[in-house]
Amino acid sequence: MRFLRPLALAVAALALTAGGAFAQAKDRIKVGFVYVGPVGDFGWSYQHDQGRKAIEAALGDKVETTYVESVPEGPDAERVIRQMASSGHDLIFTTSFGYMDQTVKVAKMFPDVKFEHATGYKREPNLATYSSRFYEGRHVIGLIAGRMTTSNVIGYIASYPIPEVVQGINAAYLAAKSVNPAVQFKIIYAYTWFDPAKEADAANALIEQGADIIMQHTDSTAPVTIAEEKGVLAFGQASDMTRFGPNVHLTSIVDDWDPYYVARAQAVLDGTWTSGDVWGGINTGMVKFAPLSTRIPEDVRKLAEDAIAAISAGSLHPFTGPLNRQDGTPWLAPGEIADDATLLGLNFYVEGIEGEVPK
């Protein structure tokens, strides 16, 4: 593969000299996607692939889409992204946090290709970032969990100790605590986004430690399946996972990327694409919910629906003071709302959560 690099540089140089000619409306574009799991994970990558299909449905023969699935995060991703950039793609979506530095590197090599990196924070003139305010969804499932647990132990399967995941844990905990002061979170970091067997083991370990509700921030449907088998309640992740636990699945936070993806592809077609950062929540429709299970009592359902409405209207923010950090030092003053910059770098638990954020 060593010959690829000079080739890529030559292509980049060529593209540079061709310059501004590309920054115009196009008749037909090619859009590429890089996924961290298989499109059949029925979670995170599946949901991004739904977005890819939405682009095809909306733009028809003006667009051609391709994807590469199960691409490991880290250095090897660069090869895949570069390959895409050098094979005529106009717009490339890299859909996992761990592709960040690789996307930046390739974006610098190919200034005329547009890049979109999900859940990251590094931008370039031709590299935009986008993400969902998953923590808003976590607030809602935290409320439901706090009210529905009987053992007062919630099991949480986390992936990696990154801000997006830590936000989710804090938001779910604060919400659960607000309706059930006795609630306790047991957290396992699986150090993977997708490994059904390991996620199943983690779910088993949490249930063994007394958890009667399982939350997950990993992408496979295995934890919901184990919950169904063991008869404990569960929330799905990224996609509607009802059919994997028909009796125990309460709801899932559903990531809806379709409108954003279609709009961005359209912008490249029109020649109006610009870099930037979008962080959409419940109000923009990026964060949605699977139908709430009939097992949720009427008053809890009302609580959840009110919270959804309040967050959407902007009258409720999951991180509103007074809040202390885990070590007891003040974080937010009464009434103060966490700003986005702080949330995007969040690396500590709030007061009350046991255990440490792994370094």
Residues at the contact surface with another protein, assessed by CB under 8 A: 37-42, 70, 155, 186-192, 194-198, 200-202, 204-206, 208-209, 220-222, 225-226, 228-229, 243-244, 354-356, 358
Q: Least distance to another protein from the beta carbon of 152, Å? A: 15
Nearer to another protein, 285 or 358 (CB): 358
The residue length of the chain stands at 359
Q: Least distance to another protein from the beta carbon of 220, Å? A: 6
Nearer to another protein, 28 or 243 (CB): 243
Spatial separation of the C-alpha atoms in residues 314 and 140, rounded to whole Å: 14
The answer to whether the beta carbons of residues 167 and 343 sit under 8 Å apart is yes
Q: Least distance to another protein from the beta carbon of 285, Å? A: 25
Radius of gyration of the chain (CA): 21
Nearer to another protein, 322 or 355 (CB): 355
Strands 323-324 and 277-280: unpaired
Q: Least distance to another protein from the beta carbon of 358, Å? A: 6
Nearer to another protein, 228 or 277 (CB): 228
Q: Least distance to another protein from the beta carbon of 131, Å? A: 24
The answer to whether the beta carbons of residues 311 and 287 sit under 8 Å apart is no
Nearer to another protein, 1 or 333 (CB): 1
Nearer to another protein, 140 or 200 (CB): 200
Q: Least distance to another protein from the beta carbon of 154, Å? A: 12
Nearer to another protein, 127 or 213 (CB): 213
Q: Least distance to another protein from the beta carbon of 186, Å? A: 5
Q: Least distance to another protein from the beta carbon of 193, Å? A: 10
Which of 357, 303, 350, 354 is CA-nearest to residue 172?
350
Spatial separation of the C-alpha atoms in residues 154 and 337, rounded to whole Å: 26
Q: What phi and psi values does residue 227 have, to the nearest 5 degrees?
A: -60, -45
Spatial separation of the C-alpha atoms in residues 85 and 210, rounded to whole Å: 49
Is the peptide bond prior to 75 cis by the omega test (within 30 degrees of 0)?
Answer: no
Nearer to another protein, 226 or 307 (CB): 226
Spatial separation of the C-alpha atoms in residues 291 and 288, rounded to whole Å: 10
Nearer to another protein, 11 or 205 (CB): 205
DSSP 1: -
The answer to whether the beta carbons of residues 265 and 31 sit under 8 Å apart is yes
The answer to whether the beta carbons of residues 64 and 28 sit under 8 Å apart is yes
> 3-class SS at 226?
helix
Q: How far is CA 122 from CA 103, 111, 276, 277, in A?
A: 9, 15, 10, 10
- Residue 119 C-beta-side C-alpha neighbours within 13 Å: 20
Q: Least distance to another protein from the beta carbon of 165, Å? A: 14
Kindly report the number of other CB atoms within 10 A of residue 107's CB atom.
Answer: 25
